[in-house]
Structure 1
């Protein structure tokens, strides 16, 4: 069960964070993997067991097309799985202080990279394959200071649904994963988001990449063969409702105000 033996996969944003962890999980499950990223991924490929690393700026369609064809050539056959995981963080400015330049930058990497992956990836995929897009719980929540990031990830969820319908005649499933806060190079231990996210989570902690990889593994495998167009939330329960930690913090604050 859940074996990926003999399957081929390409992972964008595969040189660090969730992408690197997914590459390691896929190879451990028997897949042959190519990682794609802006940085030199040769050491990550060695560490994860990927057969090759391809450099590309996934915000540019021509580079995505070239990278996916290179991945197919390295694998020797079309892809069974494509993970569109390239992304960038953006937090801080409220809408009133945000710039169009930053909005364009965030969308170019978080949204257009997925669009390019869906368009170009389908051309090098086998019928019956699986495409997995990395979105975020920010796509589902309104969070002050996250407007540009949230909008870019909400667009990923929408693209996932559209692509799922369009690619269904070929049997290609398209789903997205919506992680909560996860420790990666984009979210180090000392990031100000960490204590807030831990308190907001009913499970009381920030996620790790190990918490994420099982969902990607499931979506890549035949066990998810009747699932498409979905956004799977993996967030320690933040979207489920108000955590006890949040209530305790509010109660403490309220008591301080009253006293």
Structure 2
């Protein structure tokens, strides 16, 4: 059940964080995996069980196209799964203080990298394959100071839905995973988002990569072959409603007067 034995996969942003954890999960489930990222990922590939690491800046259209072709060549066949996971963090500035330059940088890696993956990925993907895009719970709700990041990830969900419809005749499924706050190098324990997430999250804590990778595994496996065009939140319940921690904080502040 949920075996990936004999399957092939490429993962962008696979040299760190969620991407690295997904690579390890896929490899453990029997897939042959290639990771793609900006840094030298050879040691990470060995650690995660991937068969190779390809260096590429996923904000570059030419480099994405080249890396996906290389992944197919390294694997020796077309891909079963493509995970468009490369991303960058951006939190803090309100819209009034944000800059167009920073907005462009965030969109270049968070949105355009997914666009390039959706454009060139199907050229190296088998019919009946699966594409999984990493969006964010921030795409599903408004959060002060997250406008640029949220907009870039909301665009990923929109691209996911459009691609799901366009690729359906080939049986290629396209879905998005929307993680909440998850401890990674982009979100270390001392990040200012951590106490906010702990209060807002109904489960009362920040997630770990091990708690997110199961969604990618499911969407890659044959058992999810009737699911496409969906955005799956893995967020500890944040989009479900107001947490007790938030209500208690508001009540305490009101009582203090």
User: TM-score range with shorter-chain normalisation?
Assistant: over 0.9
Aligned to 1:75: 75
- 1:199 Cα deviation from its structure 2 partner: 1.1
Aligned to 1:252: 252
C-alpha separation between the residues in 2 aligned to 1:93 and 1:87? 18
- 1:100 Cα deviation from its structure 2 partner: 0.6
2:184 equivalent to 1:174:
no
Q: Deviations over 1:51-90 (max 9, x none)?
A: 0000000011100000001111110000000000000000
C-alpha separation between the residues in 1 aligned to 2:117 and 2:148? 21
Aligned to 1:216: 216
Aligned to 2:41: 41
C-alpha separation between the residues in 2 aligned to 1:15 and 1:249? 38
- 1:109 Cα deviation from its structure 2 partner: 0.3
TM superposition outliers: structure 1 runs of 4+ over 3 Å: none
RMSD: 0.4
TM-score, normalization by structure 2: 0.99
Q: Deviations over 1:1-47 (max 9, x none)?
A: 10000000000000000000000000000000000000000011000
2:127 equivalent to 1:137:
no
C-alpha separation between the residues in 1 aligned to 2:215 and 2:153? 18
Structure 2 counterparts to residues 13-92 of structure 1, below 5 A: 13-92=13-92
Structure 2 counterparts to residues 86-165 of structure 1, below 5 A: 86-165=86-165
C-alpha separation between the residues in 2 aligned to 1:201 and 1:98? 27
Aligned to 1:238: 238
**Equivalenced residues, count:** 257
Gaps of 5+ in 1: none
Find the residue that maps to 1:89 and give its secondary structure: coil
Q: Deviations over 1:170-212 (max 9, x none)?
A: 0000000000000000000011110110111111110100010
C-alpha separation between the residues in 2 aligned to 1:52 and 1:63? 17
C-alpha separation between the residues in 2 aligned to 1:11 and 1:171? 20
TM-score, normalization by structure 1: 0.99
C-alpha separation between the residues in 2 aligned to 1:145 and 1:226? 37
C-alpha separation between the residues in 2 aligned to 1:20 and 1:113? 17
Gaps of 5+ in 2: none
